[in-house]
Structure 1
Amino acid sequence: MPAQVSGLSRYPIKGLSYEPLNSAALQAGRGVSGDRAFALALPATVFDERNPQPLSKFEFMVLARQEALARLNTSYDGSTGLLSVIDGTERLSANVHCAEGRAAIAAFFARFLPEDQKSSKPRLVTAANHCFTDVGVHSSELMNAISVLNLASVRDLEARIGERLDPRRFRANVLVEGLDPWVENEWLNHELMLGAVRCRGMRLTRRCPATEVNPDSATRDINVPRELMRFFGHIHLGIYLTVIEGGVLRIGDTVAAAS
């Protein structure tokens, strides 16, 4: 069986849960529409929504620092602006486009801040043509890249450490089945086809403490970067691609080197 796309997703709000997709309309030089469109800025973070500049992920609420975010079940309706969050028996439903809704969101997420910051509240931020991707600080091209995860590489790491690794730990846009393990490391500066979408390998994905967080228990249980370094001598798992020629990508589309 040829390699194929087995999963598609986006993360409307940085650090929160994913939205599964059946297809994604990709444009040249752009990432998945709606992916990392919002972020929760920490109280001390200076972010100008009228003149957005890429900032370190640690200027925002992220799993690498606030692992308890993993216990939240969130959804976002882009057509209405309604953000819904479930935390056990507690629920939030607020519109991101109005002041009252943003105030409710800030109050809800304030309890996830470190103790020394709880006197203030985080701020939900967004900006036109801006994505809160971790690698956006390196270039505008990387800000608009798509992240791809080779599931064979994940399983190879699982076999080495003797633990299951839920792919959700890696927060990728595209999951791929049917490849050899680690073949994605050879895609740098090479073109490939995701269905009808032509892409080029841009940067291997360096794994950070966010991958230590179990997406079901919201606890740190496996030090993924350390295990990668122990068995492979690096902390890369996955790759960022830039779209050269756009199209609609669907689950089941083949993945192959470009001719």
Structure 2
Amino acid sequence: MVLPSRNTRPYHVAKQQFLFEKIMSRIAQIFRYPVKGLSPEPMSKAELSPGRAIPLDRAFALAHGSTQFDAVNPKFLPKSKFLMLARNERLAALRCRYHDESQELVIEREGKQVARGRLDMPVGRQMIEQFFAAYMGDEMRGSPKLLRARNHTFSDMPRHCISLINISSLRELERVMKTPLDPLRFRANLYFDTGQPWQEFDWCAEGGGVDIKIGNEVMVRAFSRTQRCAATNVNLETASRDANIPLQLQQAFGHADMGIYLEVIQGGSIKLGNTVTPAE
């Protein structure tokens, strides 16, 4: 398995955080994706609340001009309404950083800043929208709209959730495909390793998922497997498609799933190294 390197991937993740190969049944990585479809931000810890996603995960989205959205009464919208890697692979060439205190989004390409703007101010949002209008060209349907709504997440699921990947399952897919895969293709919030491929699917039993304890405070409940789409086909280094992950999963294992969705039942703090265990 190829792991991101500080020298080749500008996600600014501390070297000691890359524990994919070493930690068993512990959180190896935590990520949030402030803008749907754009690059992840690594976290060393996160505060979770019942029924909520990781704070600021998919809090913003870049919608096509024809998309109708009521920020006062937000409703779930399918990902086809937004810019997304499944259709817009050139998004992978961008690296984004969101600064919580200033609410500023900074966008870089090949190590150079190409746009920045405060998302709490109309002029800042307009600067970001104008950049994507130019950058996406004909792939943009109408003028882009940067959306946000209070307590809303632009997830692919119609409910607040957290996504989790078992690295052992990913290794099984690598074995079948005979090639290393970047774990970040799967855009999960949490990465951990049970040492047993597909064990996480047992936690999504029909009629009610298994409760899982993370660290000493947090309780989550598995409720669905994560069906994979064309976004996973995008090589994050080259911003081009170089695989058909859903097809490979289907042919090898009879399903197109990798990872599971979790709902927060009991809130609290999580951090790197926390244990992940089914509740007794």
TM-score (structure 2 length as normaliser): 0.87
Aligned Cα RMSD in Å?
Answer: 1.4
Q: 1:153 aligns with which of 150, 163, 169?
A: 169
**Which residue is 2:264 aligned to?**
243
Q: Which sections of structure 2, spanning at least 5 residues, go unmatched?
A: 1-22
Q: 2:185 aligns with which of 155, 169, 174?
A: 169
1:87 is the counterpart of 2:109: yes
Distance (Å, rounded) in 1 between the aligned partners of 2:24 and 2:119: 42
* CA shift digits 1:232-258 (9 cap, x unpaired): 010000000111111111110111110
Q: 1:33 aligns with which of 51, 55, 58?
A: 55
How much does 1:2 deviate?
Answer: 4.8
**Which residue is 1:107 aligned to?**
130
How much does 1:76 deviate?
Answer: 0.4
| Count of matched residue pairs | 252
Q: 1:227 aligns with which of 248, 258, 262?
A: 248
Q: 1:231 to 1:24 in 2, by over 3 A?
A: same
Q: Is the 8 A contact 1:66 1:112 kept in 2?
A: no
Q: What secondary structure does 1:73 align onto?
A: strand
Q: What secondary structure does 1:248 align onto?
A: strand
How much does 1:129 deviate?
Answer: 1.0
Q: 1:178 to 1:100 in 2, by over 3 A?
A: same
1:144 is the counterpart of 2:165: no
How much does 1:110 deviate?
Answer: 1.1
Distance (Å, rounded) in 2 between the aligned partners of 1:148 and 1:111: 34
Identity %: 40
**Which residue is 1:194 aligned to?**
214
Q: Is the 8 A contact 1:8 1:175 kept in 2?
A: yes
Distance (Å, rounded) in 2 between the aligned partners of 1:69 and 1:101: 20
Q: Which sections of structure 1, spanning at least 5 residues, go unmatched?
A: 137-142
**Which residue is 2:278 aligned to?**
257
Distance (Å, rounded) in 2 between the aligned partners of 1:111 and 1:169: 25
Q: 1:240 to 1:95 in 2, by over 3 A?
A: same
How much does 1:112 deviate?
Answer: 4.3
Q: Is the 8 A contact 2:52 2:264 kept in 1?
A: yes
* CA shift digits 1:161-187 (9 cap, x unpaired): 011110110110000024311101101
TM-score (structure 1 length as normaliser): 0.94
Distance (Å, rounded) in 1 between the aligned partners of 2:101 and 2:24: 36
